[in-house]
Amino acid sequence: MEKEDWMREALLEAEKAGAIGEVPIGAIVVQAGKIIGRGHNLREATQDATAHAEMIAIREACEATGSWRLENAQLYVTLEPCPMCSGAMILSRVTEVYFGASDPKGGTAGTLMNLLTDDRFNHVAAVEGGILAAECGQILSNFFRELRERKKAARKKNTSNSLENKVE
Amino acid sequence: MEKEDWMREALLEAEKAGAIGEVPIGAIVVQAGKIIGRGHNLREATQDATAHAEMIAIREACEATGSWRLENAQLYVTLEPCPMCSGAMILSRVTEVYFGASDPKGGTAGTLMNLLTDDRFNHVAAVEGGILAAECGQILSNFFRELRERKKAARKKNTSNSLENKVE
């Protein structure tokens, strides 16, 4: 399978998050050509600040292999990882990290900094961004556009309700 | 309670880790003068790369409060946090971070870098290191010294066993 095919699996995870109102980000961990961990963002559903797609996928992969060392593993994630998730990739020693869209606000795999290639830490991963970048970015921008539209409609409804109340 | 008193609670957690053969690091989360999350390193026991003291304490605090936002919370940890744990502190929006010993190999709260005060991320925490630094460092150096001694003794035993086998 090509990198783009694996990223499509991460996108499927992102869609699962979006379907339940979570910011649509998805990740998978691959080892020896098999998916050993899957995750999608569950911050709101779980009210757990650490419930990012990558963390869930890494924890599932550790459980599946019975080891905290995910050597010779590839991680695919639809959005450039934050410091927490980049840190978890270093700790779990994944060999390669592929991400889709860049994150100008918090990306730490090349945008604000690159934690994954900083050789002061005790593991360095190979990083490649831009895999299916358009699709990975689009699912996020669609989500935030729809969120804004829903909020706008809710505000409009509230304003018209309060006007009606005043007339009554 | 003073910062040193809270750090003693984090040290109690570190001791729990050491007692089961884990690198002795402990953390607590405090809100409104109460401990709402406790954690100690459980990487080997769980074989989960993300099972650091701070992560466990943060997740427990989120669960206790029913919210991923740990606003007006203080986090105490015996060792300077790594990128993953610093990232989790940013994401959970803890207000203040106090650590004991500095980590020259991987500390990201002032030593290699300071992720917690980097205002490019969407939350900045106040950081103070060196709280009970000697005790927090000592528990770690004791642990690693004992580990080296055990390994040395095991090697010696193996060598003498293999010599005995040769003689037989």
| Catalytic site positions of A | 54
Q: How would you write the pLDDT of chain B (168 residues) with one tens digit per residue?
A: 899 999 999 999 999 999 999 999 999 999 999 999 999 999 999 999 999 999 999 999 999 999 999 999 999 999 999 999 999 999 999 999 999 999 999 999 999 999 999 999 999 999 999 999 999 999 999 999 999 999 999 998 888 877 777 665
Give the pLDDT score at A167: 63
- Residues in chain B with CB shorter than 8 Å from the CB of A59 are 48-50
- Residues in chain A with CB shorter than 8 Å from the CB of B94 are none
Q: Please tell me which of the candidates A50, A93, A112 has its beta carbon nearest to residue B120.
A: A112
Looking up tokens 């605090």 gives B61
Cβ B47 vs Cβ B69: under 8 Å: no
- pLDDT tens digits for range B91-134: 999 999 999 999 999 999 999 999 999 999 999 999 999 999 99
Cβ A26 vs Cβ A55: under 8 Å: no
Going by C-alpha positions, the residue among B43, B23, B51, B53 that lies closest to residue B140 is B23
Q: What b/e sequence results for A52-90 when a residue is b if at least 16 CB atoms lie within 10 Å of its CB, and e otherwise?
A: bbbbbbbbbbbeebeebebeebbbbbbbbbbbbbbbbbb
What are the strands of the beta sheet with B26-31, ordered from one edge?
B34-40, B26-31, B73-79, B96-101, B126-128
Angle between helical axes of A3-19 and A53-65 (0-180°, round to 10): 120
d(CA B115, CA B98): 14
Mind listing the domains of chain A with CATH numbers?
3-137 (3.40.140.10)
Question: What residues in chain A have per-residue pLDDT under 50?
Answer: none
Contact criterion met (CB < 8 Å) for B122 and A112: no
Percent residues over pLDDT 70 in chain B: 97
The tokens for A10 are: 């991460």
pTM over 0.95: no
Q: How many helices (H) and strands (E) does chain B have?
A: 5, 5
Q: Does residue A123 sit at the B interface (CB-CB below 8 Å)?
A: no
DSSP sequence for A85-112: HHHHHHHHT-SEEEEEE--TTT-TBTTS
Q: Please tell me which of the candidates A58, A68, A83 has its beta carbon nearest to residue B83.
A: A83
Q: Does residue A93 sit at the B interface (CB-CB below 8 Å)?
A: yes
Going by C-alpha positions, the residue among A30, A25, A32 that lies closest to residue A11 is A25
Give the pLDDT score at A159: 82
Q: Please tell me which of the candidates B46, B67, B118 has its beta carbon nearest to residue A47.
A: B67
Q: Does residue B137 sit at the A interface (CB-CB below 8 Å)?
A: no
Contact criterion met (CB < 8 Å) for B82 and A91: yes
> Smallest CA–CA separation between A64 and chain B, in Å?
10
Is A82 among the annotated ligand-binding positions?
yes
Cβ B43 vs Cβ B17: under 8 Å: no
Q: Does residue B71 sit at the A interface (CB-CB below 8 Å)?
A: no
- Residues in chain B with CB shorter than 8 Å from the CB of A46 are 62, 68
